[in-house]
Amino acid sequence: MRAPVREVPTSNIPSSSGGPLLLLLCGLLLGCSREKPAPPPPEAGFVTLKAETVPLFVELAGRTAAYEMSEVRPQVSGILKARLFTEGGFVRAGQTLYRIDPSLYRATLHQAAANLDNARAQREAAAAKAERYKPLAQIEAVSRQDYTDAAAAAKQANAAVAQNAAQLETALINLRFTNVPAPISGRIGRSLVTTGALVSAGQADPLTTIQRLDPIYVDIQQSSADLLALRRQLAAGGATPSSAAVKLKLEDGSAYDLAGKLEFAEAMVDPQTGTVTLRARFPNPKAILLPGMYVRATLSQLTTRNAILVPQAGLTRNPKGEATVMLVGPGDRAVLRTVTAGQTVGDKWLVTEGLKPGDKVIVEGLGRIKPNQAIRPVPAGSPPQRSGGGADKGGQG
């Protein structure tokens, strides 16, 4: 016999609207029983420092100067008859530039030649007379005084020949100087005199100027204080003199294609500017560099053997202006250190104090890192790692 089914009143069943409320309360109770996970330490990309041999470059101001310069002046006086060159053109050594009226000097030459012929004739007569008197004096047919006078006259005649020969050579040279030659090869400037002008030997004003532009000099100015510091650095050891090429930047900021070589440094300081002049020589086949141009010269004067270079991204400055770097410290914690960085070498800072080979300088992720903070160091340039993996969870404890 089947037992009778017992009916349950519908008023005892909870309403469906109360279910979500119960679930929410249960979730809150369960959430309060768990701790919030700590964020993973920030990733820090680092580079390991090493000692390097690095040439140290400086950029200094300079001006170009002609390799050779000659002011053309006449060596004889007279009226200028012709100019035989093109202003601004190239002339070669020995080329005739001007011609001075030669009439007076040609006549002087002829006179000197005639005087020489006369002196030679007198020498022959005096020599013959002395030869005739010599045996006669031995047999006392003539007095010895007469022979002595004849021999002396022969010697005087011989000296007169030499004097007139020298005067003839001088006249020939003066006649040659009526053609004014170029003393050097180079670019000639404008003519400062015109045809028909009276010029004189030894005049103060030149006729024109010639400059040799290939090669060309660059006179570089360096302060005596910098030069003194350089010499002290070389004397202290750890650095050697450099012989690197000199590079130029022109007035418009463009680079000059050809490199130059440092020739010498002057052994005196300009008392007005406190600088020492360094002279470099540059090839200038296209005459791009002209005398008097302002340039910037980049050169290396010494090479340091134990340089510590830090990428620029890894070095910052505090409010005091001091250079600081962030290092990977013991226990993978960030360590802030103050260093001395005086100059850049390419895209890096040269650090002279505060770092040593083997230090790990953080160059990536610095915006998320604070001093003494736990970090996850990785070599700079490594691909980023995703957080939340098993390693991170294990590190949270």
138: enclosing H helix or E strand: helix 103-138
Of 267, 285, 255, 282, the C-alpha closest to 64 is 282
Write out the residue limits of the CATH 1.10.287.470 domain(s) in the chain: 102-177
Cβ burial, residue 165 (10 Å; 0-12/13-18/19+): middle
Kindly state the tokens that stand for 213. 């532009």
- Give the C-alpha separation, 116 to 160, whole Å: 8
Higher pLDDT, 346 or 360: 360
Amino acid at 89: G
Location of each CATH 2.40.30.170 domain in the chain: 56-67+213-305
Q: Tell me what pLDDT residue 132 has.
A: 85
74 pLDDT above the threshold of 90: yes
Out of 74-78, 265-269, 335-339, 389-393, least confident range: 389-393
Rounded Cα distance, 232 and 227, in Å = 9
* CATH code linked to domain 43-53+307-389: 2.40.420.20
| Local confidence band at 58 (pLDDT 50, 70, 90 cut-offs) | confident
Closest CA to 325 of 382, 374, 375, 371: 371
Model confidence, pTM: 0.67
Cα–Cα distance, 151 to 340 (Å, whole number): 93
Tokens of 323: 């250079």
CATH for 56-67+213-305 (3.40.50.150, 3.80.10.10, 2.60.120.260, 2.40.30.170): 2.40.30.170
Q: How far apart are the first and last CA of the chain?
A: 65
User: Which residues contact residue 56 at a Cβ distance below 8 angstroms, ignoring those fewer than 6 apart?
Assistant: 242, 300, 301, 302, 303, 304, 343, 345, 350
- pLDDT, average across residues 281-293: 93
Residues of CATH 2.40.50.100 domain(s) within the chain? 78-99+179-205
pLDDT in tens, 79-135: 999 999 999 999 999 999 999 999 999 999 999 999 999 999 988 888 888 888 888
Residue 292: exposure state from Cβ atoms within 10 A (0-12, 13-18, ≥19): exposed
Q: Using one digit for the tens of pLDDT, what is the confidence trace for 205-220?
A: 999 999 999 999 999 9
CATH assignment, 102-177: 1.10.287.470
Reported as a pLDDT band with limits 50, 70 and 90, residue 36 is low
Class of domain 78-99+179-205: mainly beta
Residue 363 is encoded by which pair of tokens? 């160059």
User: What distances in angstroms separate CA 237 from CA 306, 342, 351, 355, 397, one per listed residue?
Assistant: 11, 19, 17, 19, 53
Alpha-carbon dihedral angle through residues 206, 208, 213, 217, given to the nearest 10 degrees: 20
Q: Choose among 64, 14, 47, 3: nearest CA to 351.
A: 47
Q: How far is CA 111 from CA 78, 115, 120, 163, in A?
A: 19, 6, 14, 13
